[in-house]
Structure 1
Amino acid sequence: MTQAVLTIIVILAILLSLHLFIIVWLLWQQRYAKQKANQDHPAYLVVYASQSGHAESWAKHTAEQLRLIDHHTAIRNIQELSITDLTQHQRILWVVSTYGEGDAPDAAQSFVHRILSQSLDLSHLSFAVLALGDQRYANFCQFGKTLEQWLLKQQAQALFSTVCVDQLNSRDLEQWLLGLEQLTTTQFSALSIEKEHVELRFAHRQCLNTGSTGDAIYKIQLIPEQDLVWSSGDILEIQCENNTADIQNFLVAQQQEDAVDFIPQLRRLNLRKLPPRASLLFAEWITQFESLAQREYSIASLPENGLIELVVRQQQSESGLGLGSGWLTVGLEQDQLLQANIRHNPSFHLSHDERPLILIGNGTGIAGLVAHLRQREHWGYKKNWLIFGERQQQFDHLYQTEIRYWQQHGFLDQVDYAFSRDQAEKVYVQDCLRTQSVQLQTWIAQGAAIYVCGSLQGMASGVDHVLKEILGHEHVEQLKQEQRYQRDVY
C-alpha cells in the first residue's frame, strides 16, 4: 500500500468521523431543543382568574394532579398571560370565577382589555374551562362562558364541555374531575380543599340601625372555642342551620310530631326545597334532601379582640328571612355553638407599611373597613381616609363610636359620609369621591392604596366609574396591577 493511498484512507476516516460527529451533535441538539420546548411550553398550562381565592385554589389542585402525569405542567395567573402563551401552548385548562353580575374578576380585567378584544389564530389550541359562579346572580358563570365563546371563535377546540359550578357544589366539581379523567385516562383524587372547621359560641347580637327604613343590620359577636388566627380582610364561612322552631313546624306539616330523633339530622337539611316523596318512608325521604349552604361574611374584628365580629343585614325572601341572615340574627340562641371556617382572602389583605389608605364602602361593607382600621391602629399607621355611605345619619350611622375614637386619636385623617336619604337629591360615596377629586389625586400620588367593601351594584360600580373618570382608565388598571386597588364586593 503506497503512502498516497494511506493518506487518502486517513483523510476519509477523519471525514467519516467528522460526519458522524456532526450527525450525533445534530441529533443531540434536536433532542435538547425538544426537551427545552417541552419545558418552555408544558403539556398543560393551567390558568386561573380568581377574586376571592376559590379559583386559584382549584387551579392549584388541578395542576398538582396533572403533574403526577406530566411534571412539565405549569400554572399561571391570568393577569400574567400573554398572547405568546396562547399561540405557543397546545393545551390550556382555565379555572375562572365570575364576579358579581357576570363580570370578570379584577385580576382578569387587564386580560379582557388586552386579549379578549383581539382576533387570533388559535386553531392549534385545545382547552377546557372550569367556571365558578353563583346561581343567585342572573349571569351565572358568565365570564367562563364568555371565555369559552371567545376561544371557540378563535378556532380553538374544546377538550370537553365547560363545567359550570354553583357555589362550589361538589356534584358540579365531579364533572370537572370526570372530564380530566377521560382526557388523561388517569384516576384523579377528589380536589377537596381541607378546611379547618371551628366551633364558635354565640355571645351577642345588637341591631345597629333601629328605626331605619332599610332592612335591619345586626352586629353579631361569636366566641371561638379554640385559638384562631386570621387577618383583616378575611372571611368567615358559616354553616347555615335550621332553628328549632322551623324544624318543629316542618315535622308538624309532615305529621311527624313525634320524630324527635330526626331533629339533629334535620338541622342542616334544606327544608325550603323538598324533593318528591312518592311512597318513601320519612326516614328514606329526608336522605334525598339537599344540605344547607354556607354563607360568607367579612370579619370586622382582629384575633387580638378575642372574638369574631360580623355585620349582617337581614335578607328577605319568599320563604322568610334568608338562610344566613335569619340564622344569625334570629335563629341562634344564647351560647349555642355553630360550625364555621375562616377563609383567608389574600386579595383583600393590607400591606404592612405606612402607605396612605383610602377605605370606601357602604352598608355591611363597614365590617371589612372596620377590620382594616383596627389593623392600621394596631400597626400604628395613621394616614387613613374613610368614605362611607348609608341611608340616614340618624339611624344608619354604623360604628359611629369607633369612628369618632379613631378621629380623636389621629387614626382617621379624614372621614366623608354619604347619607343618601338625608337630602332631596341622593348622595352616594362615588359623589364624595368626585367632590374630593383633587385630594384623591394627591393621595394616589403619595402612594395610597384603595380598598372598597360593600355592594357591587350601585356602590362599587359607581366608585370604579368615578375613579376612571378622575384618574384615567390606564391609571386605574395600573393600580390594580400594583395591588393598590382592592375590592371585596358582593
Structure 2
Amino acid sequence: MTAATLSPLPEDKQPLVARLIEGLEVPALHWLSGYLAGVAAQRQATGKNAPAEHAPAVDAQPRLTVLYGSQTGNAKRLAEDLGRRASAAGLAARVVRADSYPTRELKQERLLYIVISTQGDGEPPDDSRALVEFLTGARAPKLDTLRYAVLGLGDSSYPNFCAIGRQLDERFAALGAHRLFNAGEADVDLETVAHPWLEQALQQAREQLKISAPLATVTPLRTARTTPTWHREQPFASPLLLNQRITGRGSDRDVRHLELSLEGSGLRYAPGDALGVWPTQSPVLVEAVLNTLRLDGETVVRVGDDEHTLRTWLAEHRELTQLTRPFFAAHAERSGDTRLQALLLPAARDTLAELFSSWQVVDLLRRHPADWSAQTLIGALRPLAPRLYSIASSQSVVGDEVHLTVSHVDYTFEGEARWGAASRYLSQHVDGESVPIFIEANDRFRLPGDDRDIVMIGAGTGVAPFRAFVQERAERGASGRNWLVFGNPHFHSDFLYQVEWQQALKNGQLSRIDLAFSRDQAEKRYVQHRLLEQGRRLYDWLENGAHLYVCGDANRMAKDVHKVLIAIVAEHAGCAAEDAEARLNQLIQQGRYARDVY
C-alpha cells in the first residue's frame, strides 16, 4: 500500500501538495508543518471543518494584487519587492505568479499591478502564456471597476522591446479598466525605470486604498526571505579554478568549461539556477569607440552620483557589444541620416532586427558619423548589465564550486574582429583571477520533487543545466529515468561532455540519449527531428508523468521544438493542433514543461 493510498487528502489535492513542497528545504518544511498544525488546531477548537472559502474572508477590505510573469526572475523579484513595501506601508497586498492566478477573480479586482517580462522577440514568459491568451481572447470580462498599471521588462536590443507589457497595458484599457499611470518599460538596466515606477505604484496604492479600520492580521504562507551577503549589486569575487576548451580542433566554435570557487562566500544554488557574471569591456573595443568619436578617454563624466573618466564609463559601466533601439534612434537623430531614421519605421522591422544581430555600437558610429560629447554619449548608451549563464553543476556534487559552459562569441565582421562582452571577458581569464559573480535563482526550472522521469532537450551550450540535473539525480539516488536529447554541428568536434554522458549511460545515470549533429550529413538534422522520430516514446513518457525541459535559443531552437511537441501530441493523442497546444500549456502550468531559453 502506498503513502498516497493512505492519505486522507482527496486525490485531486495530492498533486497540489506535492507542488507546494517541491524544492523546499528542511527548515521550510518544519515551518510549514507547524503552520498547518496550527490551522488544524484552530479549526478543531472552533468546530470548523468547512472549506476555506466559508471562513471569514481576509479579502473583504480593499486590496492590492501584484501579478507577475517572469522568465529569469527579474519580474518576480520586483513584484515581491512591491508587495513587501506595500505591506510595510500598512496596505493589504498579495503577490501572485501569473499561472497561479484564478482568472475568475479578475471581475472582483479593484487595484491590480502587473509586472511582466518579454522574452525573445515579443513572446510572453512561460508562466504567463495562459493568462495572456485569456486576456486577449473572447472570454476576457469587462473590467470597468478595475484600476491598474503595468511595468514591462525587456531588452531593447530586440525590436519588439517590452511588447507583452505594452500589449497587456492596451488590452486592460480596451476592457474598460482605468489606467492609473503610464506603463513602465524597463531595459536590462532595470533600476533606471523600475525603481521610479515602483515608487509611483506605491504612492498610488496608498491613495487608492484609503483604510480607516485596522488591518486584519494575516500570517503569510512563506518563510522569511533574507538578502544574501553577495547579490547582483554586490557580487562575490570568485577565483577561477579552470578554463578549458571542450570543442575539438576542427570546430568553428570555441566552447569553454569554466570552474569557479565559491569558498568562503556562503553562496548556495540549486540545479536549474543561473550564475550572473559582471563583465568589463575589452580595452581594444573601448579605444576603438574613443578613436572613432575623437574623444579623450580621461574626460571626467558625472551621471547622478557617479563620476568616472570616459574610459572607465565605457569599460565598466556601458554596453558596447549590443546595439539598442534607444541609442540607435538617438544616433539617427543626431546624425540626421534619413536612411537610419527609415529603419525605425514599422515596415523596416526585419531589416532592423538583422542589423542589430550583426552590428555593434562602433559599427554604427563608423558607418554613420555623428558628433557626440562625452556627457551625451554616456547618457545615451545603455548601462552594462550582467550576463546570466545556466549553471552546469550540482552543488551537492562539486561543493564550493560552480561550473559553467560558455560559448566564446568571437567572429569577424567585414574584416574586423568582433566578440561578445562576457564570453571574451571569461575566456581571457586565467586560473586564479577573480570574476564578479552572483546567483540568480530560477524557480521555474527545477527538478521534480519526486522520482518522476525527466526528458532534457538542449542544443549547444543549452546542455549545461542538464549536466547539473544528471549529477543531482545520481547523487540523491533518484529512481526516475533520465533521457537527454542533444544537438550540435559535428560529432567529432562538438559533442560537449561526451565522456561524461557515455559514463552516465554506462552507470545507468542516463537512461537514454538521442543525438542530432546537424552538419554530419547532407541534410541537416536538429533536435526537433530526433523528437519526431521518437514521438511515440516521448508521448508515452509524458502520459506517464515525465517532466520535460528545454534549454537553448529562444527564437529558433525553442520555437521549433515547441512546434514539434504540438505535432507529436496531436498525432499520438488523436487531437487537433489547438487542443495539443492547450495540453502543453497545461503541462507548463503544472510545472512539468519548463524552458530555460535566451
| TM-score higher than 0.5 | yes
Contact 2:393 2:403 in 1 (8 A): yes
Report the 3-state secondary structure (helix = DSSP H, G, I; strand = E; otherwise coil) of the residue aligned with 1:456: coil
- Give yes or no for the alignment of 1:309 onto 2:403: yes
Shift, 1:74, TM fit: 2.1
Aligned counterpart in structure 2 of residue 269 of structure 1, from 317, 327, 343: 317
Contact 1:212 1:392 in 2 (8 A): no
Aligned counterpart in structure 1 of residue 127 of structure 2, from 77, 91, 107: 107
Letter in 1 for 2:272: G
- Give yes or no for the alignment of 1:209 onto 2:247: yes
Aligned counterpart in structure 1 of residue 172 of structure 2, from 140, 151, 160: 151
Shift, 1:264, TM fit: 7.8
Aligned match of 2:64:
44
Of residues 81-90 and 56-65 in structure 1, the stretch that sits farther from structure 2 once superposed is: 81-90
Aligned counterpart in structure 1 of residue 542 of structure 2, from 426, 444, 455: 444
Find the aligned partners of 1:139 and 1:287 in 2 and give their Cα distance.
Answer: 23
Letter in 2 for 1:418: A
Contact 1:38 1:72 in 2 (8 A): no
What does the per-residue CA deviation read over 1:354-379, in whole Å, with 9 as the maximum and x for residues that have no partner? 11110111011111111111111111
Find the aligned partners of 2:374 and 2:131 in 1 and give their Cα distance.
Answer: 54
The runs of 5 or more residues in structure 2 that have no matched partner are 1-55, 208-225, 301-307, 321-360, 363-369, 570-579
Aligned match of 2:463:
366
Aligned counterpart in structure 2 of residue 342 of structure 1, from 439, 450, 466: 439
Find the aligned partners of 2:431 and 2:169 in 1 and give their Cα distance.
Answer: 49
Aligned match of 1:136:
157
Aligned match of 2:476:
379
Aligned match of 2:385:
293
Q: Which has the higher contact order (CA 8 A, sep 6+)?
A: 2
What does the per-residue CA deviation read over 1:228-259, in whole Å, with 9 as the maximum and x for residues that have no partner? 321111110001124566678889986669x9
Aligned counterpart in structure 1 of residue 73 of structure 2, from 53, 62, 67: 53
What does the per-residue CA deviation read over 1:71-109, in whole Å, with 9 as the maximum and x for residues that have no partner? 322222222333432211111111111122211111111
Letter in 2 for 1:127: Y
Shift, 1:399, TM fit: 0.6
Find the aligned partners of 2:259 and 2:523 in 1 and give their Cα distance.
Answer: 36
Shift, 1:488, TM fit: 0.4
Summarize the Cα distance change of 1:278–1:61 in structure 2 as closer, same or farther, 3 Å threshold: closer
Contact 2:153 2:187 in 1 (8 A): yes
The runs of 5 or more residues in structure 1 that have no matched partner are 1-35, 187-191
Aligned match of 1:12:
none
1:75-474 to structure 2, matched below 5 A, reads 75-118=95-138, 119-180=140-201, 182-184=203-205, 195-196=230-231, 197-212=235-250, 214-227=252-265, 228-242=267-281, 268-270=316-318, 272=320, 278=373, 291-303=383-395, 304-305=397-398, 306-316=400-410, 320-330=418-428, 332-381=429-478, 383-471=481-569, 472-474=580-582
Contact 1:41 1:88 in 2 (8 A): no
Report the 3-state secondary structure (helix = DSSP H, G, I; strand = E; otherwise coil) of the residue aligned with 2:444: helix
Aligned match of 2:591:
483
Find the aligned partners of 1:405 and 1:137 in 2 and give their Cα distance.
Answer: 41
Of residues 247-256 and 58-67 in structure 1, the stretch that sits farther from structure 2 once superposed is: 247-256
Q: How many residues align?
A: 446
Summarize the Cα distance change of 1:77–1:439 in structure 2 as closer, same or farther, 3 Å threshold: same
Contact 2:394 2:469 in 1 (8 A): no
Find the aligned partners of 1:172 and 1:44 in 2 and give their Cα distance.
Answer: 21
Report the 3-state secondary structure (helix = DSSP H, G, I; strand = E; otherwise coil) of the residue aligned with 2:145: coil
Of residues 165-174 and 144-153 in structure 1, the stretch that sits farther from structure 2 once superposed is: 165-174
Of residues 407-416 and 477-486 in structure 1, the stretch that sits farther from structure 2 once superposed is: 477-486
Report the 3-state secondary structure (helix = DSSP H, G, I; strand = E; otherwise coil) of the residue aligned with 2:392: coil
Summarize the Cα distance change of 1:405–1:42 in structure 2 as closer, same or farther, 3 Å threshold: farther
Summarize the Cα distance change of 1:71–1:271 in structure 2 as closer, same or farther, 3 Å threshold: closer
Shift, 1:452, TM fit: 0.9
Find the aligned partners of 2:312 and 2:162 in 1 and give their Cα distance.
Answer: 34
Summarize the Cα distance change of 1:265–1:478 in structure 2 as closer, same or farther, 3 Å threshold: closer
Shift, 1:37, TM fit: 7.7
Contact 2:319 2:385 in 1 (8 A): no
Contact 1:201 1:225 in 2 (8 A): no
Letter in 2 for 1:454: G
Of residues 59-68 and 244-253 in structure 1, the stretch that sits farther from structure 2 once superposed is: 244-253
Find the aligned partners of 2:430 and 2:84 in 1 and give their Cα distance.
Answer: 43
TM-score normalised by structure 1 residue count:
0.82
Higher CA-based Rg? 1
Find the aligned partners of 2:560 and 2:286 in 1 and give their Cα distance.
Answer: 42
What does the per-residue CA deviation read over 1:14-61, in whole Å, with 9 as the maximum and x for residues that have no partner? xxxxxxxxxxxxxxxxxxxxxx78824633211111122221121111
